[in-house]
Amino acid sequence: MTPTARRLSRASRCLLSLALLSSAPLLRAAENFPTKTVTLIVNGGAGSLPDNFARPLAQRLRQALGQTVVVDNKPGAGGMVALQALKDNPPDGHTLAIVTNAHMAWNPFVFPKLTYDPQADLQPVSPIALIPMALVVNPKLPVQSLEDLVALAKREPGVLNYASSSNGSPPHVLFELFQEQAGTRIAHIPFRTGPDALTSVMAGDTQAYLAGTSLVEPMVKDGRLRVLGVSPGVESPSFAKVPSFADKGFSGFEGAVWLGVVTSTGVPAAVVQRLNREIGQVLHDPAVQKVFESQGSLPYHASPTAFAQRIAQDRALWTPLLQKLNLKPD
């Protein structure tokens, strides 16, 4: 071996040793994780759509991680309350949050003073579910179809309103997408949570709501709500005879809403991978799949890298529309 080769060999061994030494703390962090209670923050009240997914996930993670996993409901301000709470905790993986497209891709175009940066502050861990949506109305409203709703809104502009679970939430953005394509101007009434919005429509205080099928299905079954349209591919018998948005010429509602888990930027990669692996195992559990199916959703797992790519794709897809709509907090 030449002197130059020997020097390169020694240098390679040194670099390898340094790499192993630098990775050792990360590996130990993953092996020892978690060392205390894990908190799963939810932007929604008890019984809201994200809460319905968070609780079975927390229960199974508690078993997988060998530590207490608690759900912390922090609704309000389009997710800013919840995600500020995430930011306020150390980036060690013990604090997680349930997010949707809204928090990761839409909110920067809705809130001019967003208190978190989705790209700088949040670390994708794993998606957990795809959520089909349904547009429902109070049954006293004299409409039987999406066409009837559009016609009524155009015939009586400024009279109708619709509920959402907050500014910038999926029900808000997707209803505005519907209006953009329908050419209507139905007033937006934001609430703090999905159940609050749902209650308002059933009481007749608001007339329409575009929400997750699982949230509205019980009320559709017993006649407290009338459903006019659903996302393509909904298999629930309650919506079997309901046309999809695509059937009626509306686009952008196919797999448009997902839920996922994030943590703070700075959490060791090995800890993120451990969390992703455990979440994946939970989502493959037939009992959990049954719970998710009862919520009208499809379990959805991907690596942290693939999840980050999905978020980036959503930003690219939705940015032109959101800039055009120029949504503002009410």
Residue 164's CATH number: 3.40.190.10
Domain count, the chain: 2
37-41, 198-202, 324-328, range with the lowest pLDDT: 324-328
Asked if 173 and 160 sit in the same domain, the reply is: yes
Is residue 164 domain-shared with residue 312, that is, in the same domain? no
| Of 125 and 213, the one with more pLDDT | 125
Q: Which two tokens stand for residue 116?
A: 């978190």
The per-residue DSSP string of 256-276 comes to -EEEEEEEETTS-HHHHHHHH
82 lies in the same domain as 56 = yes
Q: Over 90: is that where the pLDDT of 74 sits?
A: yes
Q: Which long-range contacts (CB under 8 A, 24 or more apart) does 215-219 make?
A: 215/48, 215/49, 215/52, 216/134, 216/136, 217/134, 217/296, 219/136
Q: How far, CA to CA in Å, does 230 sit from each of 176, 247, 283?
A: 15, 10, 25
| Mean pLDDT, the chain, integer | 88
Residues 153, 99 within the same domain = no
Q: Are strands 226-230 and 133-137 parallel, antiparallel or unpaired?
A: antiparallel
Domain final residue pick, 204, 239, 274: 239
Looking at the fold, whether 272 and 306 belong to one and the same domain comes out as yes
Instruction: Print the domain residue range for 71.
Output: 30-130+259-325
User: Smallest Cα–Cα separation from 26: which of 272, 270, 273?
Assistant: 270
228, 103 Cβ separation under 8 angstroms: no
| 251 located within any domain | no
Asked if pLDDT for residue 76 goes beyond 50, the answer is yes
Q: According to the model, what pLDDT value does residue 6 have?
A: 52
Closest CA to 110 of 138, 80, 87: 80
Rounded to an integer, what distance in angstroms lies between the CA atom of residue 132 and that of residue 230? 7
| pLDDT at residue 281, rounded to an integer | 96
Structure tokens at 216: 């509205």
Q: Please write the tens of the pLDDT for every residue from 157-197.
A: 989 999 998 887 889 889 998 999 999 999 999 998 888 99
Between the CA of residue 318 and those of 156, 269, 312, 322, 324, what are the distances in Å?
30, 28, 10, 6, 10
Q: What digits encode the pLDDT tens for the residues 262-272? A: 999 999 999 99
Mean pLDDT comparison of 17-31, 80-94, 208-222, 235-249, highest-scoring range: 80-94
Residue 229: its H or E element = strand 226-230
Note the pLDDT of residue 23.
47
298 vs 145, higher pLDDT: 145
> How far is Cα 196 from Cα 41, in angstroms, rounded to an integer?
19
Q: Are residues 124 and 265 in the same domain?
A: yes
Whether residues 126 and 268 share a domain: the answer is yes
pTM of the predicted structure, to 2 decimals = 0.76
Shared domain check, 122 and 138: no
Rounded alpha-carbon distances, angstroms, from residue 231 to 24, 247, 291, 299: 47, 10, 20, 16
Lowest mean pLDDT among 1-15, 51-65, 139-153: 1-15
Amino acid 98: pLDDT: 97
Residue 125's closest CA among 21, 33, 255?
33
- The per-residue pLDDT for 8 is 44
**CA distances (Å), origin 63, targets 38, 125, 126, 150, 247:** 12, 19, 18, 49, 43
- Based on C-alpha coordinates, what's the Rg of the chain? 23
As a dihedral over the C-alpha atoms of residue 15, residue 16, residue 22, residue 26, rounded to 10 degrees, the angle is 150
> Is 324 exposed, middle or buried (CB count within 10 Å of its CB: 0-12, 13-18, 19+)?
exposed
31 vs 150 pLDDT, higher one: 150
CATH code for the domain in which residue 268 is found: 3.40.190.150
Same domain, 156 and 108: no
The band of 18, judged by pLDDT with boundaries at 50, 70 and 90, is low
Q: Collapsing DSSP states into helix, strand and coil, what is residue 23?
A: helix
The enclosing H or E element of 98 equals strand 95-100
**d(C-alpha 136, C-alpha 320), whole Å:** 27
Query: What pLDDT score was predicted for residue 201?
Result: 98
Closest CA to 131 of 15, 255, 226, 28: 255
254 inside domain: no
**C-beta of residue 188 within 8 angstroms of C-beta of residue 161:** yes
Look at residue 59 and tell me whether its pLDDT is greater than 80.
yes
Looking at residue 1, its pLDDT comes to 55
Q: Are strands 208-212 and 161-164 parallel, antiparallel or unpaired?
A: parallel
